[in-house]
Structure 1
Amino acid sequence: MTQRLNYAQLSPEHFKALMAFSNEIKKGSIEQSILDLVDIRASQLNGCTFCLDMHTKEATLHQERPLRIHHVAGWRDSTLFSPRERAALAWTEALTRLSDTGVSEELYDRVRGQLSDKEIVDLTFQIMSINAWNRVSVAMRAVPGSADKIYGLDKAGLA
């Protein structure tokens, strides 16, 4: 696969702004392990292999267990995720695949049972961020692994 356009070079101001937004979110109230799961799940749903590759390597560097990474796609049937992680993954799916009816009260109540109001908002911004990255990377056909050295992902040993 060949990348269509280099969005970082052609619109560096937008790239830097989105990168700053994404980095700021990571300072929020949601633990890194959930941020990794969310990034992986949204990237799976959006068919963004560039981001899926990147965030799998990041999760590996963050000491996430390989089996849990493999189970993200089938998290509902896996016993490897806590209720808090399940709530975050359900919220990710609902916001990534927005339906005509929005987010159900049942899901919102379930998420509120696991996360604080601040955490729900921080998680929502994280989901917004990964969906933005997925969309630009899919549209421009970003090549999986092409930024590994820039982001230190080659250290994950998954090449």
Structure 2
Amino acid sequence: MTQRLNYQQQSPELFKKLVELGMLLKKSSIEESIHDLVDIRASQLNGCAFCVDMHVKEATMHGERALRLHHVAIWRESDLFSPRERAALAWTEALTRISPLGVSDEIYERVRSQYSEKELSDLTFHIMSINAWNRVNVAFRIPPGIYDKAFGVDKSGLA
């Protein structure tokens, strides 16, 4: 994969704001393990090789089990995820691939049964953020692993 352009250099102020949003989201009401699952699932759906690579490495560093990481793509068929994690994954899919009919009441109610209003709002902002990262990295073909050292994921042991 050949990188098309360096958006960090071309739009440094916008890049910085997206990074700042990410830092704020790390302090949100949503637990780290759910952030990891959401990042991986949205990145899979969007075909973002850079983000799948990075977030699998991050999740590994956060202690996530390898089998669960392999099961993210098949979460509906897997019994390795809690109801709260399943709700987050369903919400991620609904917001990443928004239907022409919008988000169904059924999905909203399922997610709402697992999350407070504050948590649901924070989760939604997190999904918005990972989708923004996916879109810029896919658009400009950012190669997987290129920033491992800069983001500290070179310590994952998954090089």
TM normalised by structure 1 equals 0.99
Deviation at 1:157? 0.7
Distance 2:34 2:119 in 1: 11
3-state SS, counterpart of residue 35 of structure 2: helix
- What fraction of aligned residue pairs are identical, expressed as a percent? 71
Q: What TM-score, normalized by structure 2, do the two folds share?
A: 0.99
Aligned to 1:51: 51
What is the CA-CA distance between 1:68 and the residue it aligns to? 0.4
TM-aligned CA deviation for residue 26 of structure 1: 1.2
- State the distance in 2 between where 1:120 and 1:152 align: 29
- Which residue in the other structure is 2:147 paired with? 147
Within 5 Å, which residues of 2 pair with 1:7-156?
Answer: 7-156=7-156
* Count of residue pairs the alignment pairs up: 159
Deviations 1:46-69 (A, max 9, x none): 000000000000000100011100
Any unmatched runs of 5+ in structure 2?
Answer: none
Greater than 6 Å deviation, 4+ residue runs: none
Q: Which amino acid aligns with 1:89?
A: L
Unaligned runs of 5+ in 1: none
User: How many angstroms apart in 1 are the aligned matches of 2:57 and 2:8?
Assistant: 21
Amino acid at match of 1:23: M
Question: What are the Cα deviations for residues 75-111 of structure 1, in whole angstroms up to 9, with x where unaligned?
Answer: 0000000000000000000000001111000111111
SS at match of 2:4: coil
Question: In structure 2, what is the Cα distance between the partners aligned to 1:109 and 1:140?
Answer: 37
2:153 paired with 1:158: no
Distance in 2, Cα, partners of 1:10 & 1:158:
30
Within 2, Cα distance between the matches of 1:114 and 1:91? 11
